[in-house]
Amino acid sequence: SAVISQKPSRDICQRGTSLTIQCQVDSQVTMMFWYRQQPGQSLTLIATANQGSEATYESGFVIDKFPISRPNLTFSTLTVSNMSPEDSSIYLCSVEPSGRDEQYFGPGTRLTVT
Amino acid sequence: AQTVTQSQPEMSVQEAETVTLSCTYDTSESNYYLFWYKQPPSRQMILVIRQEAYKQQNATENRFSVNFQKAAKSFSLKISDSQLGDTAMYFCAFIKAAGNKLTFGGGTRVLVKP
């Protein structure tokens, strides 16, 4: 498995502002992922972040709203831009250790937009 | 596209008893993996158990076991000797081999009563 940390663990933000969430893993991994979990819902993949290439976004998610950086093999950031109350969710990062076909999750960031 | 369905939104069980959670999935892939994740109130997603589609033998991890019926596309989780710490949301998830997108079911809330 892998030890994954996220910052911040929670935040309350005003609409129209942006928040950057950090994800740090204790070992080098090729694949990192960002998920959104809306209140009372399941997880939905936002994008896949590979080091050295542009992130790949799922249908319904766009780079202007959720820009992602992946500067190295242990770190990634997700920015939630121009926030509205509908962005209130838990945002989770996950990693896939090479060749395992399974993912391990960070503790999540609980975002509330007022 | 893959879909994962969990038909039981909520279940309760007495401490030390057994509970079984249902999951069905739909896919045209022949090689894939199935998972059960646990999400306690702390919101950390924890990988409970993994099943490779090419294996006929059902996976077990301590008190957790699965009943994998490939032809029926069914993947249930049995929790034996339930403990108070098992209280959580449980998510069934699918990933195709060499893919990177986890598809989650809607979740089942399990409450273990003393």
Q: How much is the pLDDT for A34?
A: 97
Nearest to A102 among B35, B42, B104 (CB): B35
Say if B111 is an interface residue toward chain A (CB within 8 Å). no
- The A residues from 36 to 75 touching B (CB cutoff 8 Å) are 41-45, 48, 58
Q: Provide the residue-wise pLDDT of chain A in tens; the chain has 114 residues.
A: 789 999 999 999 999 999 999 999 999 998 899 999 999 999 999 999 988 888 999 999 999 999 999 999 999 999 999 999 999 999 999 998 877 788 999 999 999 999
Which candidate from A43, A92, A102 shows the least CB-CB separation from B50?
Answer: A102
Question: What's the whole-number mean pLDDT along residues B52-64?
Answer: 94
Long-range residue pairs from A25-28, CB within 8 A, at least 24 positions apart, any chain: A25/A74, A25/A75, A25/A95, A26/A2, A26/A74, A27/A2, A27/A74, A27/A97, A28/A73, A28/A74
Q: Do A101 and B97 touch (CB under 8 A)?
A: yes
Which positions in chain A touch B102 (Cβ < 8 Å)? 33, 43, 45, 94, 103
